[in-house]
Amino acid sequence: MASRAEPDHAARMDGIYGMQRHIYDLTRKYYLLGRDRLIQRLDLAPDATALEIGCGTGRNLALAARRYPKASLHGLDISREMLRSAEAKLAAYVAQGQVRLAQGDATHFDPAKLFGHPQFDHIWFSYTLSMIPDWRGALEMAINLVAPGGSIHIVDFGQQAGLPHWFRNLLHRWLEKFHVTPRVWLIDTCREIADQSGWRIEIERPYRDYAWLITLHRP
């Protein structure tokens, strides 16, 4: 069953990225910082299962597929338009069975039905929580889908505390054009999750707090 918010959000994302998807990877590499670091730190075992929630054009999944050729990778996105780019980019990996893609709402989907797995060893969000209206709901969904001993990895916009105010204001005005809202309470929310669940948390604020990298480890 899809969430009631899904159709509107899906249509909005398709409207924004129907054309943008063709230049998305070229333009975003200049300000979606920390994505490669996240992929490197996944450190996927040969038999690991991993899911990217909000896989977009498939850029991160392609990098992960090359780096971890024996892992089983999965990508979920609410935008049919973005998945068209992901399907083209990942066609060879999909044909080999290494990557599976599906459309769905990050806050409400059936992983067993979409991917054949009820849980995953690793789940990651790469600059997607700042785009998901119910980002806490997406985190809660991920928490329920991580297998024992697994982890959740997040990279997203920080608060740019170490950068000039004019830069932060300019960045936020630019992000608003794409319905992107840096989540002020993201670190606090992840800490609450870790405290309540007995998980271990790691937090980094690279590039003078431009980005936040958060890892939640399930016991």
pLDDT band at 142 (very low <50, low <70, confident <90, very high): very high
In this structure, is residue 120 part of a structural domain? yes
Looking at the structure of the chain, the number of domains it has is 1
Q: What is the per-residue pLDDT across 89-116, written as a single tens digit (0 to 9) for each?
A: 999 999 999 999 999 999 999 999 999 9
In this structure, is residue 154 part of a structural domain? yes
In this structure, is residue 133 part of a structural domain? yes
Provide DSSP, the chain. ---TTHHHHHHHHHHHHHHHTTTHHHHHTTT-TTHHHHHHHH---TT-EEEEES-TTSHHHHHHHHH-TTSEEEEEES-HHHHHHHHHHTHHHHHHTSEEEEE-BTTB--HHHHHS-S-EEEEEEES-TTT-TTHHHHHHHHHHHEEEEEEEEEEEE---TTS-HHHHHHHHHHHHTTT----TTHHHHHHHHHHHHT-EEEEE-HHHHTEEEEEEE--
Distance in angstroms (rounded) separating the CA atoms of residues 147 and 169:
39
Q: What is the CATH number of the domain that holds 98?
A: 3.40.50.150
Q: Is the pLDDT of residue 86 over 80?
A: yes
In this structure, is residue 112 part of a structural domain? yes
Q: Is the pLDDT of residue 39 over 60?
A: yes
pLDDT band at 13 (very low <50, low <70, confident <90, very high): low
Q: Is the pLDDT of residue 174 over 70?
A: yes
Of the listed ranges 7-11, 45-49, 91-95, 146-150, the least confidently predicted one is 7-11
Residue 2 pLDDT = 36
Q: What is the per-residue pLDDT across 178-213, written as a single tens digit (0 to 9) for each?
A: 889 999 999 999 999 999 999 999 999 999 999 999
Provide DSSP, 65-107. HHH-TTSEEEEEES-HHHHHHHHHHTHHHHHHTSEEEEE-BTT
In this structure, is residue 1 part of a structural domain? no
Residue 28 pLDDT = 57
Structural domain for 137, as ranges: 6-217
Q: Is the pLDDT of residue 15 over 80?
A: no
Q: State pTM to two decimals.
A: 0.88
Q: Is the pLDDT of residue 149 over 70?
A: yes
In this structure, is residue 21 part of a structural domain? yes
Strand partners, 155: 126, 213
